[in-house]
Amino acid sequence: MANILEVNHLSIDFKTYAGDVHAIRDVSFNLKKGETLAIVGESGSGKSVTVRSVMGLLASNAHVKAGTVIYHGDDLLKKPEREMDAIRGSDISMIFQDPMTSLDPTMTIGKQVAEPLLVHKTMNKEDAMKRAQTVLELVGIPNAKERMKDYPHQFSGGQRQRIVIAIAIVDYPQILIADEPTTALDVTVQAQIIDLMKELQRKIETSIIFITHDLGVVAGIADRVAVMYAGKIIEYGLVDEVFYEPKHPYTWGLLNSMPTLETAGKLEAIPGTPPDLLDPPKGDAFAPRNPYALQIDVEEEPPFFEVSKTHFAATWLLHPDAPAVEPPAAIQALMKKHNVL
Give the pLDDT mean for 199-223: 87
pLDDT in the model for residue 265:
54
CATH 3.40.50.300 in the chain: give the residue spans: 3-222
* Residue 23 pLDDT grade (very low, low, confident, very high; cuts 50, 70, 90): very high
DSSP per residue over 66-84, as a string?
EEEEEETTEEGGGS-HHHH
How far apart CA 8 and CA 70 sit, in angstroms, is: 8
pLDDT of 259-297, one tens digit each?
A: 655 545 566 788 899 999 999 999 999 999 999 999 999
Distances (CA, A) of 106 to 67, 153, 247: 40, 10, 49
Residue closest to 297 by CA, chosen among 278, 269, 323: 323
Q: Does residue 19 carry a pLDDT above 90?
A: yes
**Three-class SS string for the chain?**
CCEEEEEEEEEEEEEECCEEEEEEEEEEEEEECCCEEEEECCCCCCHHHHHHHHHCCCCCCEEEEEEEEEECCEEHHHCCHHHHHHHECCCEEEECCCHHHHCCCCCCHHHHHHHHHHHHCCCCHHHHHHHHHHHHHHCCCCCHHHHCCCCHHHCCHHHHHHHHHHHHHCCCCCEEEEECCCCCCCHHHHHHHHHHHHHHHHHHCCEEEEEECCHHHHCCCCCEEEEEECCEEEEEEEHHHHHHCCCCHHHHHHHHCCCCCCCCCCCCCCCCCCCCCCCCCCCCCCHHHCCCCCHHHHCCCCCCEEEECCEEECCHHHCCCCCCCCCCHHHHHHHHHCCCC
* Residue 89 pLDDT grade (very low, low, confident, very high; cuts 50, 70, 90): confident
Q: Does residue 199 carry a pLDDT above 80?
A: yes
Contacts of 113 (CB under 8 A, 6+ apart): 132, 135, 136, 148, 163, 166, 167, 170
The residue that leads in pLDDT, 334 or 28, is 28
Give the pLDDT mean for 305-323: 96
**Separation of CA 279 from chain center:** 25
The CA radius of gyration of the chain, in Å to the nearest whole number, is 21
Distances (CA, A) of 242 to 153, 250, 298, 304: 40, 11, 25, 14
Give the pLDDT mean for 313-325: 95
| DSSP 8-state secondary structure symbol assigned to residue 296 | G
Fold classified for 3-222? Rossmann fold (3.40.50)
Q: What is the pTM of this model?
A: 0.92
Give the pLDDT mean for 251-259: 85
* Residue 121 pLDDT grade (very low, low, confident, very high; cuts 50, 70, 90): low
pLDDT in the model for residue 262:
53
Give the pLDDT mean for 2-23: 96
Q: Does residue 302 carry a pLDDT above 80?
A: yes
Task: Estimate the crossing angle of helix 125-138 against helix 109-120, to 10 degrees.
Answer: 120
